[in-house]
Chain A
Amino acid sequence: MGKAVILCVDDEVGVLNSLKIQLKNEFSDAYLYEAAESADEALELIEELQEDEIDIVVIVSDWLMPGIKGDEFLIKVHEKFPKIVKILLTGQADEAAITRAIERANLHTCLHKPWDSKELITTIKSGIEQLSC
């Protein structure tokens, strides 16, 4: 049982870069950090990590991406991995999609871009805490 992974999914490389620096600044080597530029890539990655017996503890995902959208992606993830903390980080609010994610993926929070870094860290921490309850 090594360190767990925080996975970021967004089709914008800039977002992935700045998110990673932010998370690494906050959590240092408490966690490992992975990134994917689409839901498809993320699902592949999740499979690989599972094979390597590495756990994912948090997923921060964008909503509007090419291919599968964020809500659908998180719902898929939830079916296999109900324990992962799922957070939507989106530039555009599609109310119906967010509701779907809450109901069928147990979405922990939905944050809007541009996001407040403190808010992001706080909600990740609270999500992880809730896991141990």
Chain B
Amino acid sequence: MTREKNKEEKFQANILIVDDTQSNLRLLVDLLKKKGYKVCPVTNGKMALSEVKGMMPDLILLDIMMPEMDGYEVCRQLKADEATREIPVIFMSALDEVLDKVKAFGVGGVDYITKPFQLKEVLARVETHIELRRLQKRLEDRNEELSKTVEELKATQSQLIQSEKMAVLGQLIAGVAHEINTPLGVIRSSIGNIANFFSDSLAELPKFLQKLSPEMQSYFFNLVDNSAKKSELLSSREQRRFKRALIAELEAKNIEDSEAIADTLVDLGIYDNLEQFLPLLTDKNMPKILENAYYLSSVKNSSKNIINATERAAKIVFALKNYARYSSIEEKVPVDVIEGIETVLTLYKNSIKQGVEIVRNYGEMPLVHCYADELNQVWTNIIHNALQAMNNKGTLTIDTSAENDKVCIAIADSGPGIPEEIRAKIFEPFFTTKPAGEGSGIGLDIVKKIVEKHSGSIEVDSQRGKTTFKVFIPTS
């Protein structure tokens, strides 16, 4: 530090001198003023205490032997008050006993000068303590700045987490829209089919049934009954197989229009055992009977379609609600982590549907006390990255387990892996391997911060064909 700077500092330093002896005061005032300090002399403790708060000196020179209030008492009061506690106090006195020095330091003084003064000594000590005080103040200022910066960073981080969540949500919405549109399509079409039946076929039905022989009537109701009981859902492949077999059987019995008849029989849930229906199949009214039975049973099928589709749509909406549920909660809540992961998987159904096999190894897991919304972010980010790495084709393996007071969630993908060189960087903010515009790369950085916020840890292991992210979270 240069002399120039010293002088500048001195100009700002102000010193409170407390001594009941006027001559001492004058001596010190002159000495210190000459050196560039601002000085304020007072003759007793009471005045000192009332001056201090207004002036906030950088140093107090305090006589000990004073009438009414001695220096120790003044010092005690200064140290008792939070506002004045930090101001350094140098005691001055004629008393030179060790006991008194110890007492002086004991009440909070930082130094001790004995009278008669050695002026150079006084200056030296004053300078030292002024410098100390200056450094202390600078430290306090810096700390305050740092605190502010930390608060700002925290706020920014919250914002980043939020906007990252919105970005991911935006991407999910497109997939979810499709997921909901499909069941809606089924429902609308099925309702149309039911309405059609009521407007077209129903009126005719009683008349038609009356014309049938009792035997044929009972076949009719058997068909409808049988169809209603059918519970298995065959794949289109299986249905085709049965149909082929039926066509062959029908042709062997010389029944015309075998493809259409076979198709209707399969729709009615009749896959084989045509022997019991032989009388029906050879009856002249057969085509119409089958047709009407089909229309009647199609109502039941349409209802089933609607029920299934409604379940599907409800599941998606539930998943969305689940995802957003914890948004506004700022405290830790007990959460079923597996439920959270399943919610994310439901929301990503569209991507998964394109060719991803999910292997679930869910061990017993206790409820985890966590910031639920943020933890969902973690699963979303890791799963999102995993699916992308595999280009939506491959295997996603999820293992969960609990040991002692921690839970471990491992999510692995069968993608090409993370090259050795960049593995260390992936958790850095804004690091991304995607081309510009395709992903801000904030994801893993946020993930790491969230995990750390939970006092947890995250590891990554990667080879060609298997990349695993392991997250450890304490349960409380």
Binding site for B on A (CB under 8 A): 2-3, 11-22, 24-25, 28-29, 32-37, 41, 45, 64-67, 89-92, 112-117
Segment of B38-46, B78-86, B180-188, B207-215 in the binding face: B180-188
Q: Which of B304-326 contact A (CB under 8 A)?
A: 305, 308-309, 312
Q: How far is the CA of A20 from the CA of B286 in the complex (A)?
A: 21
Q: How far is the CA of A116 from the CA of B191 in the complex (A)?
A: 11
Q: Closest residue to B179 on the A side, CB-wise?
A: A91
One of A12, A25, A35, A92 near B186 (C-beta < 8 A): A12
Interface of B is mostly: helix
> With A21-B298, A33-B263 known to touch, is A14 a contact of B183 (CB < 8 Å)?
yes
Q: Report whether A66 and B185 are in contact in the complex, using a CB–CB cutoff of 8 Å.
A: no
Q: How far is the CA of A10 from the CA of B153 in the complex (A)?
A: 49
Q: How far is the CA of A29 from the CA of B263 in the complex (A)?
A: 10
One of A21, A34, A36, A113 near B182 (C-beta < 8 A): A113
Return A106 CB to nearest CB of chain B, in Å: 24
For residue B233, CB closer than 8 A to chain A, the reply is yes
Q: Report whether A22 and B181 are in contact in the complex, using a CB–CB cutoff of 8 Å.
A: no
Report, nearest first, the 7 A-B pairs whose CB atoms are least far apart. A113-B185, A91-B181, A92-B178, A91-B178, A18-B189, A114-B185, A114-B184
> How many B residues touch A, CB cutoff 8 Å?
45
Return B149 CB to nearest CB of chain A, in Å: 45
Q: Please name all residues of chain B whose beta carbon is closer than 8 Å to the beta carbon of A33 when the two chains form the complex.
A: 263
Q: Closest residue to A54 on the B side, CB-wise?
A: B259
Q: Report whether B185 and A64 are in contact in the complex, using a CB–CB cutoff of 8 Å.
A: no
Segment of B4-12, B67-75, B234-242 in the binding face: B234-242
| Beyond A20-B267, A29-B260, 10 additional pairs, beta carbon < 8 A | A3-B259, A3-B260, A13-B233, A15-B185, A37-B235, A64-B354, A66-B355, A92-B177, A113-B181, A115-B188
For residue B174, CB closer than 8 A to chain A, the reply is yes
> With A2-B259, A66-B353 known to touch, is A18 a contact of B236 (CB < 8 Å)?
no
Q: How far is the CA of A67 from the CA of B291 in the complex (A)?
A: 36
Q: Please name all residues of chain A whose beta carbon is closer than 8 Å to the beta carbon of B263 when the two chains form the complex.
A: 32-33
Return B175 CB to nearest CB of chain A, in Å: 8
Q: Report whether A15 and B181 are in contact in the complex, using a CB–CB cutoff of 8 Å.
A: no
Return A59 CB to nearest CB of chain B, in Å: 14
One of A14, A32, A67 near B260 (C-beta < 8 A): A32
Q: Report whether B182 and A15 are in contact in the complex, using a CB–CB cutoff of 8 Å.
A: yes
Q: How far is the CA of A92 from the CA of B183 in the complex (A)?
A: 13
Q: Report whether A29 and B257 are in contact in the complex, using a CB–CB cutoff of 8 Å.
A: yes
Return A22 CB to nearest CB of chain B, in Å: 5
Q: Report whether B236 and A36 are in contact in the complex, using a CB–CB cutoff of 8 Å.
A: yes
> With A17-B305, A18-B193 known to touch, is A32 a contact of B259 (CB < 8 Å)?
yes
> With A114-B185, A115-B189 known to touch, is A34 a contact of B240 (CB < 8 Å)?
yes
Return B359 CB to nearest CB of chain A, in Å: 17
* 16 A–B contacts from the bound complex (CB under 8 Å): A3-B259, A13-B233, A14-B182, A14-B312, A15-B186, A21-B302, A35-B236, A35-B239, A66-B354, A89-B185, A92-B175, A112-B181, A113-B182, A113-B185, A115-B185, A117-B188
Q: Closest residue to A118 on the B side, CB-wise?
A: B192
For residue B327, CB closer than 8 A to chain A, the reply is no
Q: Closest residue to B350 on the A side, CB-wise?
A: A64
Return B303 CB to nearest CB of chain A, in Å: 11
Q: Closest residue to B186 on the A side, CB-wise?
A: A14
One of B188, B259, B291, B301 near A114 (C-beta < 8 A): B188
Q: Report whether B182 and A91 are in contact in the complex, using a CB–CB cutoff of 8 Å.
A: yes
> With A13-B233, A91-B178, A112-B181 known to touch, is A117 a contact of B355 (CB < 8 Å)?
no
Q: Report whether A114 and B181 are in contact in the complex, using a CB–CB cutoff of 8 Å.
A: yes
Q: Report whether B193 and A22 are in contact in the complex, using a CB–CB cutoff of 8 Å.
A: yes
For residue B196, CB closer than 8 A to chain A, the reply is yes
Q: Please name all residues of chain B whose beta carbon is closer than 8 Å to the beta carbon of A20 when the two chains form the complex.
A: 267
For residue B414, CB closer than 8 A to chain A, the reply is no
Q: How far is the CA of A64 from the CA of B200 in the complex (A)?
A: 34
**Counting chain A CB atoms within 10 Å of each CB, which of B175, B182, B295 scores highest?**
B182
Q: How far is the CA of A13 from the CA of B234 in the complex (A)?
A: 9
Q: How far is the CA of A112 from the CA of B294 in the complex (A)?
A: 28
**Counting chain A CB atoms within 10 Å of each CB, which of B186, B298, B354 scores highest?**
B186
Return A30 CB to nearest CB of chain B, in Å: 10
Q: Please name all residues of chain B whose beta carbon is closer than 8 Å to the beta carbon of A41 when the two chains form the complex.
A: 236-237
Q: Please name all residues of chain B whose beta carbon is closer than 8 Å to the beta carbon of A64 when the two chains form the complex.
A: 178, 350, 353-354
> With A14-B186, A41-B236, A117-B188 known to touch, is A91 a contact of B259 (CB < 8 Å)?
no
Q: Please name all residues of chain A whose beta carbon is closer than 8 Å to the beta carbon of B192 when the two chains form the complex.
A: 22, 117
Q: Report whether A19 and B196 are in contact in the complex, using a CB–CB cutoff of 8 Å.
A: no
Q: Please name all residues of chain A whose beta carbon is closer than 8 Å to the beta carbon of B188 when the two chains form the complex.
A: 114-117
Render B351-375 as a binary contact track against A, CB cut-off 8 A, 1 for contact: 0011100000000000000000000
Q: Please name all residues of chain A whose beta carbon is closer than 8 Å to the beta carbon of B187 when the two chains form the complex.
A: 114
Q: How far is the CA of A17 from the CA of B301 in the complex (A)?
A: 8
Render B150-194 as a binary contact track against A, CB cut-off 8 A, 1 for contact: 000000000000000000000000110111011111111110110
Q: Report whether B181 and A67 are in contact in the complex, using a CB–CB cutoff of 8 Å.
A: no
> With A22-B189, A92-B174, A117-B192 known to touch, is A67 a contact of B355 (CB < 8 Å)?
yes
Q: How far is the CA of A45 from the CA of B291 in the complex (A)?
A: 26
Q: How far is the CA of A45 from the CA of B236 in the complex (A)?
A: 10
